[in-house]
């Protein structure tokens, strides 16, 4: 269902291995890893070889990634993150993600 949610909403939901049952079907499960550095606008979200410029970062994104692995990535290009756990990146309708994709946040 996660791929369908992406197609309908231009958003992906990430969650660590402990995603609640009802939510798990809509999430891409990730390995929770420490985040080095800040997650800031101007950085880059990498999904395999695809690059998306980060445009806005909710104030809980870094903490949620480190503790739960749970954030929403919105491919909206919004300049302000109204929801604390949302990472906004440049607008795109051609997002390719699969179960073996590698997601990274890089700094310029």
Nearest one of 17, 2, 7, 91 to 55, comparing CA atoms: 91
Q: CB-side exposure of 91: number of CA atoms within 13 Å?
A: 4
- Tally Cβ neighbours within 10 Å of residue 73: 24
3-class DSSP state for residue 88?
A: strand
CATH code for the domain in which residue 40 is found: 2.40.33.40
Give the pLDDT confidence score for residue 52 in this predicted structure. Answer: 97
Over residues 2-27, the mean pLDDT reads: 89
pLDDT reported for residue 32: 87
Segment 42-76, tens digit of pLDDT: 999 999 999 999 999 999 999 999 999 999 999 99
Number of structural domains found in the chain: 1
Q: Is 87 helix (H, G, I), strand (E, B) or coil?
A: strand
Q: For 6-16, what is each residue's pLDDT tens digit?
A: 989 999 999 99
Confidence of residue 24 (pLDDT cuts 50, 70, 90): confident
- Select, from the ranges 38-42, 93-97, 98-102, the one with the highest average predicted confidence (pLDDT): 38-42
Contacts of 45 (CB under 8 A, 6+ apart): 51, 52, 53, 54, 73, 87, 89, 103, 104, 105
CB of 73 within 8 A of CB of 56? no
pLDDT, residue 73, reads 97
**Terminal C-alpha separation, the chain:** 33
Would the pLDDT of 101 be above 80? yes
What is the span of the domain harbouring residue 73? 2-106
């Amino acid at each position: 269902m996660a791929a369908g949610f992406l197609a309908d909403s231009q958003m992906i939901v990430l969650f660590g291995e402990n995603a609640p049952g009802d939510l798990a079907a809509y999430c891409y499960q990730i390995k929770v890893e420490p985040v080095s550095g800040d997650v800031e606008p101007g950085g880059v979200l990498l999904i395999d070889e695809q690059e998306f410029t980060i445009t806005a970062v909710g104030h809980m994104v870094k903490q949620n990634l480190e503790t739960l692995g749970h954030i929403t990535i919105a491919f909206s290009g919004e300049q302000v993150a109204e929801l604390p756990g949302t990472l906004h990146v440049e607008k795109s309708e051609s997002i390719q993600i699969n179960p073996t994709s590698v997601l990274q946040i890089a700094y310029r």
